[in-house]
Structure 1
Amino acid sequence: MTPSGPPTAPDFAATLADVADVEGWMTDGQARLLWDGARAVPDGGRIVEIGSFRGRSTVVLGRAAAPGVELVAIDPHAGNDRGPQEIEGFVDEAAQDHEVFNANLEAAGVRDRVTHVRAFSDAAHAQVPDPIDLLYIDGAHRYGPARADIRDWGARVTEGGTLLIHDSFSSIGVTLAILRELFLGGHWRYVGRSESMTEYRRERLGPKARVANAVHQALELPWFARNVLIKVLITVRLGRLTRLLGHDPSTWPY
């Protein structure tokens, strides 16, 4: 990453180039969703990110948000849930993630505008005031933690606010949490997705709108089944067969 700090006028293309070497799981299209969501937050608003890892998405949010917008990054940097198939915590990885995270923010020129809450998301509520205008969830992908993040943090998003969820219709735990909390709910309208990053808007939905919203999300389930099959094939060392599904076998679907 170039240590020259952000451009005078934040630029999406330049930011993409600056985070290209930052480890993480974020496509260009997903970065665009984060960028546009952060740009839409009004001055004095608040962005909350759950799951920062080494700061790739945090830099995009920090570069895009207006100077008067607060950006809170919640990540325990405990060495666990760092990526695909990683659950257990490791002390060395935790310390390294924390150090690299701060270095990447510093190099991007956004360190001073990010409030890092080094805690698990379920223990961080008291450290983050209401309301939240943009909530980005990319924390633990197991069903229980993912559901709690969507339910408890989502309830704190202001009317008209935005919810972005990574690994939707890709991770089994995250998808089950979405089905439980958002599929038939009356408070979140499904906007769409960029690969596995979904976008929801906080709105009150009547009965007909709720049915239409459920159908819109149900149309993503075949894509979810495809991603699960790809992960199974990669896990059992048959990744080359994923080419038949239009997937690059050297990458994990996200």
Structure 2
Amino acid sequence: MLSPDEVKGFLAPEEGEALAALTAQAGALGPILEIGTYCGKSALYLGPAARQVGTILYTLDHHRGSEEHQRGEAYHDPELYDAEIDRMDSLPTLRRNLFRAGLEDCVIPLIGTSAQIAPHWSTELGLVFIDGGHSMAAALADYRGWASRVAMGGYLCIHDVFPDPADGGRPPYEIWCMARDSGLFEPVNRIGTLEVLQRCAR
């Protein structure tokens, strides 16, 4: 059986375990959504926890990679590059990993962007995990598209939040500030670079 440490990605084990524990708490409120699937590392934490509490994980990604994954960039991975179409494509790797992990029954890939999918979504979600593109446009689309779908008492989790700009990109921190200051969420925990907020108002 495939384990998370065998899958490409940057989620630390303690962050993945925290997300699994939150899913176990929030799964009764609705399905779980993660934004930014890549090869499925975080899905291997969230999926089993969702199954255990009788819900499912939707995992959303366009699978063409963020800016840093493109050819010539720092995080380009030749194994995820499709030379025939001259594009990065992580979807085949995700599907293979979900099959190897035995998670096809509880993890449902959504192929697209938040801007494409969120306007057509109406189901309340127990937990939303934002780990998508780090451009301001992508981060804002993820936050604006999905934060309002978190059920009362549910969780909004944002990865790669660096309060000090010397440590990393700003957009995840900026949307965390927006959530904190919105009056809709209250911060409850930080694990590594994962910020956890809970929905407290409508």
TM-score by length of 2: 0.82
Q: Within the alignment, does 1:94 sit opposite 2:91 as a pair?
A: no
Q: What's the CA shift for 1:94?
A: 3.0
What does residue range 1-254 of structure 1 map to in structure 2 within 5 Å?
2=1, 18-43=3-28, 45-65=30-50, 66=52, 68-81=54-67, 91-92=82-83, 94-95=88-89, 97-126=90-119, 128-169=121-162, 170-179=168-177, 181-204=178-201
Bigger helix share:
1
CA offsets per residue over residues 97-153 of structure 1, 9 Å max, x none? 111111111111102221111101211125544111100000111122212212321
**Distance change (3 Å), C-alpha of 1:26 and 1:151:** same
TM-score by length of 1: 0.66
Work out whether residues 76 and 118 of structure 1, in 8 Å CA contact, stay in contact via their aligned partners in 2.
yes
Work out whether residues 19 and 56 of structure 1, in 8 Å CA contact, stay in contact via their aligned partners in 2.
yes
CA distance in 2, matches of 1:22, 1:71: 18
Q: What's the CA shift for 1:50?
A: 0.4
One-letter identity of the residue aligned with 2:13: D
CA distance in 2, matches of 1:156, 1:133: 9
Bigger relative contact order, structure 1 or 2 (CA pairs below 8 A, ≥6 apart): 2
Higher gyration radius (CA) = 1
CA distance in 2, matches of 1:155, 1:37: 18
Q: What's the CA shift for 1:33?
A: 1.4
One-letter identity of the residue aligned with 2:129: Y
CA distance in 1, matches of 2:196, 2:58: 19
Which secondary structure does the structure 2 equivalent of 1:163 belong to? strand
How many pairs were matched up? 187
One-letter identity of the residue aligned with 1:197: L
CA distance in 2, matches of 1:185, 1:126: 20
Q: What's the CA shift for 1:81?
A: 4.3
Structure 1, unpaired ranges of 5+: 4-17, 206-254
CA distance in 2, matches of 1:20, 1:121: 27
Work out whether residues 59 and 107 of structure 2, in 8 Å CA contact, stay in contact via their aligned partners in 1.
yes
Which secondary structure does the structure 1 equivalent of 2:128 belong to? strand
CA distance in 2, matches of 1:114, 1:81: 26
Identity of aligned residues (%): 26
One-letter identity of the residue aligned with 1:94: M
CA offsets per residue over residues 75-103 of structure 1, 9 Å max, x none? 1111334669569xx654633x1111111
